[in-house]
Structure 1
Amino acid sequence: MSKKKETKYIFVTGGVLSSLGKGIASASIATLLKKAGLKVSILKADPYINVDPGTMSPFEHGEVFVTDDGAETDLDLGHYERFLDENLSQNNNFTTGKVYSSVIEKERKGEYLGKTIQVIPHIVNEIVERIKKAGEGNDVLIVEIGGTVGDIEGLPFLEAIRAMRVELGRFDTINVHLTLVPYIKAAGELKTKPTQHSVGELRRIGISPDMIICRSEMPLNRELKDKIASSCGVEKRCVIESPDSRSIYKIPLLFLQQDVLTPISEMLNLGELKVDMSEWDSLVKRVIAPTNSVKIAFVGKYLDLKESYKSLTEALIHAGANLDTRVEIKWCDSERIHEDNVEEHLKNIDGILVAGGFGSRGVEGKMEAIKYARINNIPYLGICLGMQLAMIEFAKNILKIEDANSAEFNVDTKNPIIYLIDEFIDNSGKKQIRTRKSPLGGTMRLGGYNCNIKKDSLLSKAYGGAKTVRERHRHRYEANPKYREQFEQKGLIVSGESDGLIEAIELKNHPFFIGVQFHPEFTSRLTNPNPIIVSFIDAALKNIR
């Protein structure tokens, strides 16, 4: 019987304040290790008590990233997939809410044999078990602990990684701590004291970092790095800079320049690691200094918090890099667009994108933008709600169905161009469609599904002639097939389907007008951009010419 592979663990914590880029640092280290030939995965452990981000407002949490297996996860998982170019799963993200729910469920079933349930050992053991499960089959698992050292809700997670360090010992675990080294303009100095305090907080918990990554807006000189190393008890070569950069995709290259892998390899006994980042470097250069440029109108309603569209804005960067093009986004608030000023908002635009979303706010403005793209032959890509609104706009203005609407906006509409997925399941009997009942009521269609593509369509051309592709979903409403014949008679054809569900539509005699029910941005990566988004940007480039 062969010996089970032992997984090495890299625990990444953060100090001083949040949003320093733990996710990018974790993904960057993972990318370098993968390029060195290791099997690597990443786990995000979030201390908040929500079970998952699925019911959280975009203004509260930013984007909800959906994995292929239908898990609603933290947006950092999007970064992980985009850097690693691999599909992750529900095992790669868990929260305090999930941990406590699981422990309480086990207690109710009597699995703890009547013992008093406590944070130590029961909650901590549950966390450890989840970390080990995510690490199975990998050479290295990188575990990012959400939040900041000192947060009360994060203590069980820190205790769990402390316990794992004791259990597994040397050569199997290392701790990487990311901190802020602020520049005080009045003094003209970078200050290390916040880093020292942050490391001191870790030490009080029983964790001593093996490596410190310093987030700063200015370069750190050798003297400053040596000071951090001395005061925080790490080797000088283990103080790594993570400076502000013009692209997040440059961070792995900056880490590599600082030889980050040598101490990691020695501490984890990984042997000599050789990395070829030439393709990555070439793409990053085209992100930072491309030859061409294109202007895209991004019509949405969460523009105060652009993190709500993180995967999509990154997907535009991926497409641009692969076309050697800078994608300049013009953010257009759909609530401010109406019939009288739509041209003012969209003049000198090369392409129009209407993204997904929930609720009726800003819908009229989005449909005015869609109408403008349709009439003026401007390349258009509608995603999720963007596809549904394209169908409603067409029904109103071309099919002359004046009261055409979505059941999401008017539950009593007599012409529901878009209706609830529950109705589809009830009417068709297709119970095999994977959905999840929300605690708030209503069914969500989540995760990856195969889409069958119509031959010789724009969609088929975009996907290189593929007959079937797999893309991800997160929505409650579907296009009503009742109106399909009317649409196709007037030139709006269905070019993608899945078990009777309408997955994609496109307009005949238009250079590029496509709507997709799925979210192509969830499967886009720097080294493997999503084909439909690449085709959209390419069409926008041709629109310039």
Structure 2
Amino acid sequence: MATKFVFVTGGVVSSIGKGIVAASLGRLLKSRQYSVSILKLDPYINVDPGTMSPFQHGEVFVTEDGAETDLDLGHYERFTDTSMSRLNSVTTGSIYQAVLNRERRGDYDGGTVQVIPHITNEIKDRVLRVAKNTNPDVVITEIGGTVGDIESLPFLEAIRQFRKDVGRQNVLYMHVTLVPWISSAGEMKTKPTQHSVKELRSIGIQPDILVCRSDRPLPPGLKEKMSGFCDVPVECVITSQDASSIYEVPLNLEKEGLAHQALELLQLEQRPPDLTQWATLVDRLYSPKRQVEIAIVGKYVRLNDAYLSVMEALRHAAIALDSELNIRWVNAEDIQDQGAAHHLDGAHGIIVPGGFGIRGIDGKIAAIEYARTKQIPYLGLCLGMQCMVIEWARHIAALADAHSAEFAPEATNPVINLLPEQQDVVDLGGTMRLGLYPCRLAPNTLAFKLYQEEVIYERHRHRYEFNNAYRSLFIETGYVVSGTSPDGRLVEIVEWPNHPFFIATQFHPEFQSRPSAPHPLFKGFIQAALALTPMSPTKDNSISEQATVSEPVGMVLN
């Protein structure tokens, strides 16, 4: 079967949820035994988001092959349970970089290099490359930004040409737009959608499906109005109403008949979906038996998306343990100013996630000391492990001036330092230890107990490492190196056994957590945190009745 292609565009406003819609469609197709790959076309000129501030773009998601990508790839992986690669993340910067490299090599035989055809051909090649390398039944491509953005025009022109290149029956255009409720008028307005579709059609793309984002159901009359004005069949006008959880969205879109219409338009077999496991997951999410409060101590906390995968990994673990997750966001700099107890008292668990730069480091170290001395479960991730090592060195090993060479290059005791191969690296982007690496676990440790594996594979994104000159002292003071690289050279996991749960990793386990398969470190962490919480009355907010998937495929519910 030839690969089919779905292109997801957005209109009216950004952050409308195109990534969740694309990921949800992927989930619905997988539930019908179709293989899926999803890629993101981002119009910014950065080669990748690796050097961008989390305040600008949220977290950087890392793939198994070491690509630094947009956070939407995390949604794609979590919803479809399929690992993505560097092929699934494309930016304007990477497109122009590739074309200019060819021009410098003389690959264009002295011809003039232009947006059309050279840039658009490169964009099309990137989409086809995903199909060629992974051979999925369906490739879903999300175009970042909104229709009308100047920087998006080459991408839109490329996907316009794409239908002609691969055949009309092999391409579907899906447009995600906003249908706002105007409270002063007391009604929903379709004009933003009409204008967005008009803009898309002026480029030469007629949407096949409209996904309408709203905070309430669309009345049938409104669907018919948009169908008439936008030239889209009424059954292809799909409501995507705000949901309490993103994990409810695939079930809502299934009820609206999104997958049924997509398969119809792509001329694919209508197979029955199996969303039982997903519906059970959502039921458990809405009917917790206990509550757990986790403090995330970071320096990007005013933008929660900076720690998106950490949040989702915690949520997966909480769902598996029938618990409602409450996150307490704590700015590490506030701990420096006001003390750890002021911000962390009453938390059932503490996490220090990854990050870069010295700002807030002393607050993170204080939070770790508080977790250690108060016997509160602690999980450190990447920088959270390095801060745990610094806290050990200062307060257990009596190395008062201990620090990381990243923050204090002249420190007398650099317990965290650069590897020799990183000493002369100048460029910041794509030069760290990135992607999937093996880690050997020591027996009779917390890490081994949680993983139940001798060798594990986890994703990395860092440049500095545990300084092995201090490893013997670390072990002599009662701490344990419970995970190393297979050759024993690199320290990957550290823990302190005289504590209910005190462990930290140099890698980022949050990238491999899945809704139906929570990561063992996060599950163990939440389990330890629950041991500190009293039982709360059972709540039954189950949505099993409204989340059922037993309706006929393609049935449209209003």
Which deviates more, 174-183 or 257-266? Answer: 257-266
CA displacement 1:462-513 (0-9 Å, x = unmatched):
11x2001111111111011111111111111100101410000000221100
Q: CA deviation at 1:543?
A: 2.3
What secondary structure is seen at the aligned counterpart in 2 of 1:171? helix
Match of 2:460 in 1: 473
Q: Distance in 2 between matches of 1:339 and 1:184?
A: 43
Instruction: Show the 5 A alignment for 1:405-484.
Output: 405-421=403-419, 423=420, 439-440=427-428, 443-463=431-451, 465-484=452-471
Match of 1:538 in 2: 527
Q: Distance in 2 between matches of 1:278 and 1:28?
A: 15
CA displacement 1:330-366 (0-9 Å, x = unmatched):
1111101148632121111111111111011111111
What secondary structure is seen at the aligned counterpart in 2 of 1:219? coil
Q: 2:31 aligns with which of 4, 18, 35?
A: 35
Match of 2:490 in 1: 501
- Give the root-mean-square deviation of aligned CA atoms: 1.5
Seen in structure 2, the aligned counterparts of structure 1 residues 268 and 437 have a Cα distance that, compared at 3 Å, is farther
Match of 1:513 in 2: 502
Q: Distance in 2 between matches of 1:308 and 1:373?
A: 23
Asked whether 1:68 is paired with 2:57, we answer: no
Match of 1:12 in 2: 8
Taking structure 2 as the reference length, what is the TM-score of the superposition?
A: 0.93
In structure 1, the gaps of 5 or more residues are 427-435
Q: Distance in 2 between matches of 1:87 and 1:34?
A: 14
Q: Distance in 2 between matches of 1:47 and 1:442?
A: 19
CA displacement 1:348-407 (0-9 Å, x = unmatched):
111111111101111111111101111111110011111111111111111101111110
What secondary structure is seen at the aligned counterpart in 2 of 1:45? strand
What secondary structure is seen at the aligned counterpart in 1 of 2:55? helix
Q: CA deviation at 1:287?
A: 1.9
Asked whether 1:194 is paired with 2:192, we answer: yes
Seen in structure 2, the aligned counterparts of structure 1 residues 20 and 438 have a Cα distance that, compared at 3 Å, is farther
Match of 2:118 in 1: 122
Q: Distance in 1 between matches of 2:121 and 2:349?
A: 52
What secondary structure is seen at the aligned counterpart in 2 of 1:94? strand
In structure 2, the gaps of 5 or more residues are 535-558
Match of 2:297 in 1: 299
CA displacement 1:63-105 (0-9 Å, x = unmatched):
1111010000011001101111111000001111111111111
Match of 2:552 in 1: none
Q: Is the 8 A contact 1:265 1:273 kept in 2?
A: no
Instruction: Show the 5 A alignment for 1:57-456.
Output: 57-136=53-132, 137-338=135-336, 341-421=339-419, 423=420, 439-440=427-428, 443-456=431-444
What secondary structure is seen at the aligned counterpart in 1 of 2:399? coil
Q: CA deviation at 1:179?
A: 0.2
Seen in structure 2, the aligned counterparts of structure 1 residues 438 and 200 have a Cα distance that, compared at 3 Å, is farther
Q: CA deviation at 1:289?
A: 2.9
Q: CA deviation at 1:440?
A: 3.9
Q: Distance in 1 between matches of 2:289 and 2:426?
A: 46
Q: CA deviation at 1:217?
A: 1.1
Q: CA deviation at 1:438?
A: 6.0
Q: Is the 8 A contact 1:85 1:528 kept in 2?
A: no
Q: Is the 8 A contact 1:504 1:516 kept in 2?
A: yes
Q: Is the 8 A contact 1:442 1:476 kept in 2?
A: no
Q: Distance in 2 between matches of 1:531 and 1:438?
A: 36
Q: Is the 8 A contact 1:445 1:473 kept in 2?
A: yes
Q: CA deviation at 1:542?
A: 1.3
Q: Distance in 1 between matches of 2:482 and 2:532?
A: 23
Q: Is the 8 A contact 1:446 1:473 kept in 2?
A: yes
Q: Distance in 2 between matches of 1:66 and 1:88?
A: 9
Q: Distance in 2 between matches of 1:509 and 1:53?
A: 40
Q: Is the 8 A contact 1:379 1:543 kept in 2?
A: no
Q: Distance in 1 between matches of 2:279 and 2:300?
A: 32
What secondary structure is seen at the aligned counterpart in 2 of 1:419? strand
Seen in structure 2, the aligned counterparts of structure 1 residues 494 and 61 have a Cα distance that, compared at 3 Å, is same
CA displacement 1:2-41 (0-9 Å, x = unmatched):
xxx5210000000001000000000000111011001110
One-letter identity of the residue aligned with 1:514: I
One-letter identity of the residue aligned with 1:387: M
What secondary structure is seen at the aligned counterpart in 1 of 2:103? helix
Q: Distance in 2 between matches of 1:361 and 1:28?
A: 37
Q: 1:488 aligns with which of 468, 475, 496?
A: 475
Q: CA deviation at 1:169?
A: 2.4
Bigger relative contact order, structure 1 or 2 (CA pairs below 8 A, ≥6 apart) = 2
Q: Distance in 1 between matches of 2:533 and 2:213?
A: 39
Q: Is the 8 A contact 2:50 2:429 kept in 1?
A: no
CA displacement 1:30-58 (0-9 Å, x = unmatched):
11101100111001001111110011111
Asked whether 1:50 is paired with 2:46, we answer: yes
Q: Is the 8 A contact 1:339 1:368 kept in 2?
A: no
How many residues get paired? 530
Taking structure 1 as the reference length, what is the TM-score of the superposition?
A: 0.95
Using the aligned pairs only, state the percent identity: 53
Q: Is the 8 A contact 1:31 1:83 kept in 2?
A: yes
Q: Is the 8 A contact 2:50 2:430 kept in 1?
A: no
Q: CA deviation at 1:437?
A: 5.2
Match of 1:433 in 2: none
One-letter identity of the residue aligned with 1:195: T
Q: Distance in 2 between matches of 1:425 and 1:517?
A: 16
Q: Distance in 2 between matches of 1:118 and 1:38?
A: 38
Q: Distance in 2 between matches of 1:325 and 1:242?
A: 27
